[in-house]
């Protein structure tokens, strides 16, 4: 049917004849005027889509010219969480508390920890590969916090019973100290340092813990290993402290400061592989 009504013989010759006799414009004009002729003759317009609605089984309303904007009610400031404020890029609510001069620590290269006893007073020594840079760290601490860190500005934690590791392994966490409620409603950035110790036996650790009373005092000092292998305790830069934290990893909660150390251990494991 389509071929019989729409296909004509010798189309090329017919088109050339239309152009040659200038009949093409007449045909176009007739096509344009045909709708008017239909209206006059049959009183039935056929040039608008709406005239064919009765033949459509389903109607589709036209889309609006402008996009529809759905207004979302603003959140109640009382219900806004700290993480939501941080996600929006409002860094004014972020408080930074740090005891670490990162470039200085990179230069000093903290390589180990010494646990000992001197005159019945426990000692925690921080081993630095660069002696002078290590001294400068403690000099700066004494300027800021004094020879006696009475307010616990320097937080030191010994993390024990590390998951998947031998009992002799432990970690030492260094960061700024805080009190509960110090940062209520505030997002805090607290740089930290963690040193993983992997001795074959836990003799030194047990000796230190046996001689450290709960909540007792201890001395924090910078140390350096001499060429003959002996440790050099720089007691002239010692800082007296009263708040050593000793925690089993399994006992650390999500709101504890030591959770930062647990997260650092997990990052180390993910980076270096499972512990031996």
Instruction: Write down the pLDDT at residue 31.
Output: 60
Is there a contact between 124 and 220 (Cβ–Cβ < 8 Å)? yes
Instruction: Write down the pLDDT at residue 60.
Output: 72
pLDDT confidence of 212, banded at 50, 70, 90? confident
Is there a contact between 208 and 176 (Cβ–Cβ < 8 Å)? no
Q: Which of 67-76, 91-100, 185-194 has the highest mean pLDDT?
A: 185-194
Instruction: Write down the pLDDT at residue 82.
Output: 43
d(CA 259, CA 261): 5
pLDDT confidence of 132, banded at 50, 70, 90? very high
pTM of the model: 0.64
Helix H or strand E segment including 130:
none
């Amino acid at each position: 049917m389509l071929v019989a009504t729409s296909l004509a013989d010798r189309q090329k010759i017919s088109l050339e004849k239309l152009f040659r006799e200038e009949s093409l414009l007449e045909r176009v004009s007739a096509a344009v005027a045909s709708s008017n002729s239909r209206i006059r003759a049959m009183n039935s317009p056929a040039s608008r889509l709406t005239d064919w609605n009765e033949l459509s089984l389903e109607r589709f309303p036209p889309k609006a010219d402008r996009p529809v904007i759905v207004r979302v009610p603003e959140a109640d400031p009382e219900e806004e969480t700290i993480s939501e404020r941080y996600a929006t890029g409002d860094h004014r609510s972020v408080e930074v508390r740090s005891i670490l001069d990162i470039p200085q620590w990179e230069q000093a290269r903290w390589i180990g920890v010494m646990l000992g006893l001197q005159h019945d007073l426990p000692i925690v020594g921080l081993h630095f590969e660069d002696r002078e840079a290590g001294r400068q760290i403690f000099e700066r601490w004494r300027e800021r916090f004094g020879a006696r860190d009475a307010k616990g500005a320097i937080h030191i934690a010994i993390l024990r019973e590390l998951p998947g590791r031998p009992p002799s392994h432990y970690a030492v966490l260094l960061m700024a100290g805080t009190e509960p409620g110090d940062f209520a409603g505030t997002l805090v950035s607290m740089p930290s340092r963690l040193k993983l110790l992997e001795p074959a036996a836990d003799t030194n650790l047990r000796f230190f813990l046996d001689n450290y009373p709960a909540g007792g005092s201890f001395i924090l000092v910078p140390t350096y290993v001499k060429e003959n292998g002996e440790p050099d305790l720089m007691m002239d830069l010692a800082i007296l402290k009263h708040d050593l934290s000793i925690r089993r990893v399994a006992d650390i909660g999500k709101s504890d400061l030591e959770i930062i150390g647990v997260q650092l251990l997990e990052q180390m494991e993910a980076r270096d592989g499972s512990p031996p």
